[in-house]
């Protein structure tokens, strides 16, 4: 029987770090104990995740209660460097898509071959008409989009999940 579930994620903090990777990498290692991720990849440990977003951008994903402290410590570590740290937690919405048909649900909405994605791979893409980022999270997929389009993203995901369960 088809199986797909969509849940809105709460309690997730997100920091965007912008700057040269040779500047961001050591700060990320010192403050978060994470290596700078390779292109389109992520590094995760101890409840923290660093996602490669572009050649000059890393997104740090953490429990929301750690966001302010991590931002402060990263800003201190990057003082004097041409780099920025921005808390984007309130500007983004996140969803978990789980179940045996989770990848099939996302395949209906994104031009991504989920069967070929590596476990630590991060993909910036589009979901129907909106920009989105996704990665493997546990036994499913995490999808992040702008909060301003969260209701649309939620409807897209739930409709795709319902059609997977219905077999269409």
What is the end-to-end Cα distance of the chain in Å, rounded? 13
Residue partners of 93: CB distance under 8 A and separation at least 6: 8, 144, 145, 146, 147, 149, 150, 153, 154
The closest of 130, 123, 135, 162 to 147, measured between CA atoms, is: 130
Contact call for residues 144 and 133 (beta carbons, < 8 A)? yes
pLDDT at 165: 63
Contact call for residues 68 and 144 (beta carbons, < 8 A)? no
| CA 111 and chain centroid, separation | 17
User: In the numeric block, which tokens belong to residue 97?
Assistant: 């898509």
CATH of domain 12-90: 3.30.70.1520
Answer CATH for 91-166 from 1.10.3720.10, 3.90.76.10, 3.30.1360.120, 3.40.50.300:
3.30.1360.120
pLDDT at 167: 60
Average pLDDT by stretches of 10, the chain with 168 residues: 88 98 98 97 97 98 98 98 98 97 96 94 97 95 98 97 73
pLDDT at 153: 98
Give residue limits of the domains in the chain: 12-90, 91-166
The secondary structure of 55-85 as a DSSP string is TTEEEEEEEGGGHHHHHHHHHHHTTTSSEEE
């Amino acid at each position: 029987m088809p199986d797909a579930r969509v849940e809105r994620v709460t309690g997730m903090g997100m920091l965007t770090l912008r700057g040269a990777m040779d500047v961001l990498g050591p700060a990320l290692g010192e403050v978060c104990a994470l290596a700078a991720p390779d292109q389109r990849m992520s590094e995760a440990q101890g409840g923290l995740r660093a996602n490669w977003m572009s050649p000059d951008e890393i997104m740090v994903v953490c429990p929301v209660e750690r966001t302010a402290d991590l931002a402060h410590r990263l800003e201190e570590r990057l003082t004097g460097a041409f780099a920025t740290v921005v808390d984007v937690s309130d500007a983004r919405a996140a969803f978990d898509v789980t179940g045996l048909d989770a990848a099939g649900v996302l395949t209906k909405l994104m031009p991504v071959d989920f069967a070929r994605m590596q476990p630590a791979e991060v993909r910036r893409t589009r979901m129907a008409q909106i920009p989105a980022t996704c990665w493997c999270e546990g036994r499913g997929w995490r999808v992040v989009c702008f909060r301003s389009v969260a209701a649309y993203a939620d409807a897209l995901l739930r409709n795709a999940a319902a059609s997977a369960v219905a077999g269409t």
